Structure 1
Amino acid sequence: MTLQSSVSATVESDRVAFEYTVENVGDDPVELTFRSTLTADFAVLDGGEEVWRASEGQMFAQMLQTETIDPGDSETFSGEWDDPSPGDYAVVAELNTTDGDAEARTDFSV
């Protein structure tokens, strides 16, 4: 797979907004097959211990769906963590696909 990904964390007064961008840096289209209606997930870590996950406690329709990312194009996925406690964290974002993993990580402070 010729995907390159990055995640950003924007700290606001009462939440942290995440944006996860996956770009096709190759010469051929990339077809992604998602396992469910959950296309991307975000996990917040405190010293390696998971303290929050966007999909935790959520239900998603179990259906395969596909999306094609053409060469040079990108797709952005969003999430947000409400009422975070002050501290230093890392967010890990990943695609929920059947055909390979794309993952990105960044540190942030609240």
Structure 2
Amino acid sequence: MEETFQSGKGLAGLDEHQIRRYTSWSRWVTLAMLAHAFLAVVRADEQARHPAPDGLIPLTCNEIQRLFITLVVRPVREVAHRLAWSAWRRRHQARAQVGHYRPQAANQN
């Protein structure tokens, strides 16, 4: 539960509202929760329909948020560059993950 709340704060701006009235707070929280649900559904759907290629980690909510902002909210002319950058970042994270868990697996044997 705490992890989901932290994710909602970081990805959807759940903690970025200045509370003055209940109505505005409830609208903000509803919008933030919908944004976080959107990211979670897109991530689950993407992982179910398109498994990650070898050497890449699956798309995460953070990466989907970056791609959404880059490609939809603030579109740029270099879409191919942004998608290549996303693939590079995911490949780097996959290598880091393997390197992180390798010593732990060696210690368990």
TM-score interval for Structure 1 and Structure 2 normalised by the shorter chain:
under 0.3
Higher RCO (C-alpha under 8 Å, 6+ residues apart): 1
Larger fraction in helix = 2
Normalising to structure 1: TM-score of the pair?
A: 0.24
* Higher Rg of the two aligned structures: 2
Larger fraction in strand = 1
Normalising to structure 2: TM-score of the pair?
A: 0.24
